[in-house]
Amino acid sequence: MSRIDAKFAQLRAEGKKAFVAYVMAGDPDYETGLKIVKGLPGAGVDIIELGMPFTDPMADGATIQLAGQRALEAGQNLEKTLQYARDLRKEDNTTPIVMMGYYNPIYSRGVDAFLVDAKEAGIDGLIIVDLPPEEDDELCIPAQKAGINFIRLATPTTDDKRLPTVLQNTSGFVYYVSVTGITGTAAAQAGDVGPEVARIKGQTDLPVIVGFGIKTPDAAEAIAKIADGAVVGSAIVEKIGAGESVDDVLAFVKSLAEGTHRG
């Protein structure tokens, strides 16, 4: 059983939904970013999404684009992002870590070498937004063979004809993108999302987690009531970008986690 599977089993037993927090590795700098990541489990985060900074983040809105730029300018790279996971694993061997980003840095490193390093570092899953199911042989299937979950995105435009293809090699959980467009823009509406989550759950036994457009504890609670959990990224990254202290960022994360866990 993977750490992701174990976490969902634990949450189910506790009658809770999953709170997933996204942060950009290396934002605003290596040390501050690492303090935030290490503080996430204690703030109630069930699964950590660790953003891999990349120069051309086409699925991301301004908030996460700027976070990536800050991280890159501070010298963050793929190796340093893997080091975050290694450092967290020294004190936490249960919280799942999912790396999220784009294929180019992994391709540049070499898929085989990356998967060996990621497994050794304690990475549990990958969300690679620019690799469609038609390219599963490229990374998805090798990752699964290496014991790393490959988590796929489903969107409002993923119709019933396309959905089985999206779900085919997905593992860990399904990430439902609640709005059409880029990160950090429109707000997620539970009334719109509920039927879509039900539609996806009709075709898979995997948990369905909802992200994009969730900015407040109340919004996280509303989404958690109709899904298996909520992801918050841009709202957290915005506070980091505004220069808020690590303690203040983690206090905000804690409020989001509490909202989700009420769902």
CB 100 within 8 A of CB 22: yes
The secondary structure of residue 177, as a DSSP letter, is E
76: tokens are 């963050």
List the catalytic residues. 49, 60
Residues 125-139: tens digit of each pLDDT: 999 999 999 999 999
Residues 165-204: tens digit of each pLDDT: 999 999 999 999 987 655 555 566 778 899 999 999 999 9
Cα separation of 263 and 261, whole Å? 5
123: tokens are 């990475």
Class of residue 163 by CB neighbours under 10 A (exposed 0-12, middle 13-18, buried 19+): middle
Instruction: For Cα atoms 90, 147, 40, give the angle at the middle one, nearest 5 degrees.
Output: 35
Helices in the chain by DSSP H: which ranges?
3-14, 30-39, 62-73, 78-89, 103-109, 111-121, 140-145, 163-167, 190-201, 217-226, 234-241, 246-262
CB 34 within 8 A of CB 43: no
> By C-alpha distance, which of 62, 139, 80, 149 is closest to 106?
139
Pick the CATH number of 3-262 from 3.40.30.10, 3.20.20.70, 3.60.9.10, 3.30.1330.100: 3.20.20.70
pLDDT, one tens digit for every residue, the chain (263 residues): 899 999 999 999 999 999 999 999 999 999 999 999 999 999 999 999 999 999 988 878 889 999 999 999 999 999 999 999 999 999 999 999 999 999 999 999 999 999 999 999 999 999 999 999 999 999 999 999 999 999 999 999 999 999 999 999 999 999 999 876 555 555 667 788 999 999 999 999 999 999 988 999 999 999 999 999 999 999 999 999 999 999 999 999 999 999 999 98
Give SS3 for 23: strand
Domain boundaries along the sequence of the chain: 3-262
Q: Which residue has the tokens 């939904």?
A: 17
CB 25 within 8 A of CB 50: yes
Cα separation of 242 and 234, whole Å? 12
Side-by-side strand order, sheet with 18-24: 149-150, 125-128, 97-101, 47-51, 18-24, 229-232, 208-211, 174-177, 153-154
